[in-house]
Structure 1
Amino acid sequence: MAIKSFMGKRAEPEKPAEVPMLVRDYMTEKLITFRDYENIMDVVEKLIKHGISGGCVVNERNELLGIISEGDCMKQISDSRYYNMPMTDLTVGKRMISNVETIDGNMNVLDAAKIFIEKRFRRFPIVENNQLIGQISQRDVLKAALRLKSHTWSY
């Protein structure tokens, strides 16, 4: 005797709603920026005051010129002390990284995570029409992952 099931055909599992995953959705837009003529010691004060590890260097038109980090500042201070050089002429322009890689704001944030891993950078500026519009950090990517986890991943 054949056994028949009366359950019927099972429905496809419901897919979770699509979560926006663009870099621009997670980037920081209100940035602490620096100018190339600023003194390194002033930058150090701002980094500490705002609890950040670096920032973008822009001109008066908000065009990206470079990035300055805690490490860049420490290198300048260390070199000045080691070589007994005055600390008065230590400007951002002399220590910033000028060849800056940026990320497209329309990129998927998980693709950006892969770039963070490959490049080992802590932050990437977002430039649109030659203007700095934001910055995405590793922490921003982690926030996106938490949001994604709450919608699609199970523990």
Structure 2
Amino acid sequence: MLVSEVMTSPALSLPVSATLDDVVELLGGSGISAIPVVDEAGRCVGIVSEADVLRQPLPRDPRAHLWTTSATSGPSPSLDEVMTKDPTCVAPTDDCADVAALFARSGFKSMPVVDDDRLVGVVSRSDILRAMSVSSASLADAVSKAVTSVGMPERTVTVQSGHVVVTPTGDGLDDAVVAVVSTVPGVRSVRLG
């Protein structure tokens, strides 16, 4: 699968001029864990996550302490002060297998998707997991459509939990069919059998 097949697009983003209050409102109300930050030209220049927000001092609740605390006030920090600059980004043409490995190594929950530094989407761990969790019946249908859409004769396939077995026909196209089937979103493995 390619990132472009699973990413969320268009992506929510905030301008560099936004404040921490803007981030809190957007992250708290949207169910996402990070938001790309873009400049005036739409280039991804940073990312701000829940962790970045939680690193900022929160007002203390006097009920939890034996002494009273003074109220905190002041302007909300700008995103430029809070965001992670030069974020790790991926391209729409990147392989989801590579992105999944990057998620596993880094601990990131989501990453901006950029094309020539311009934000075109966001891909998350859950986007990749959702693509992998296609029902066997739906995946068998998608595999059949993919094979016939490139002008190959329909094949007998069995699908179990994303693993596809293609019945060989000996017509010289078996390897090509395997290659086509391996590009279908949700296919975790494919073999002749």
Q: Provide the TM-score with structure 2 as the length reference.
A: 0.62
Residues 8-35 of structure 1 deviation map (CA, whole Å, 9 limit, x = unaligned): xxxxxxxxxxxxx111111111222112
Deviation string for 1:92-142 (max 9, x for gaps)? 110100021111211221221111101111111111122111111001110
Once the 2 structures are TM-superposed, how far is the Cα of residue 154 of structure 1 from its aligned partner?
1.9
Are the structure 2 counterparts of residues 100 and 44 from structure 1 closer, same or farther at C-alpha, using a change threshold of 3 Å?
same
Q: 2:115 aligns with which of 128, 131, 141?
A: 128
**Deviation per residue, 1:63-104 (Å, 9 max, x gap):** 0110001111121134x769x864404111101000211112
- Provide the C-alpha distance between the structure 1 equivalents of 2:99 and 2:83, rounded to a whole number of angstroms: 23
Q: 1:43 matched to which residue of 2?
A: 23
Cα separation, 2, equivalents of 1:74 and 1:99: 20
Matched with 2:82 is: 95
Flag the structure with more relative contact order, 1 or 2, with Cα contacts below 8 A and sequence separation at least 6. 1
CA distance in 2, matches of 1:71, 1:27: 22
> 1:15 — aligned with what?
none
Could you say which residue in structure 2 is the equivalent of 1:77? 57
Distance 1:45 1:30, change over 3 A: same
Establish whether residue 143 from structure 1 lines up as the match of residue 130 from structure 2: yes
Alignment match, 1:25: 5
Identical columns (%) = 28
> Does the 8 A contact of 1:103 with 1:125 survive in 2?
yes
Secondary structure of 2:84's counterpart equals coil
User: Which runs of 5 or more residues in structure 1 are unaligned?
Assistant: 1-20
Indicate how the Cα distance of structure 1 residues 148 and 98 shifts in structure 2: closer, same or farther if over 3 A, else same.
farther
Distance change (3 Å), C-alpha of 1:139 and 1:87? farther
| Contact in 1 for aligned 2:21/2:76 (Cα 8 Å) | no
Contact 1:109 1:144 in 2 (8 A): no
Tell me the number of residue pairs that the alignment of Structure 1 and Structure 2 aligns: 134
Give the structure with the larger strand fraction: 2
Report the secondary structure of 2:131's partner residue: helix
Question: What is the aligned partner in structure 1 of residue 190 from structure 2?
Answer: none
CA displacement at 1:62 relative to structure 2: 0.6
1:61 aligns with 2:41: yes
After the TM superposition, which parts of structure 1 deviate over 6 Å for at least 4 consecutive aligned residues? none
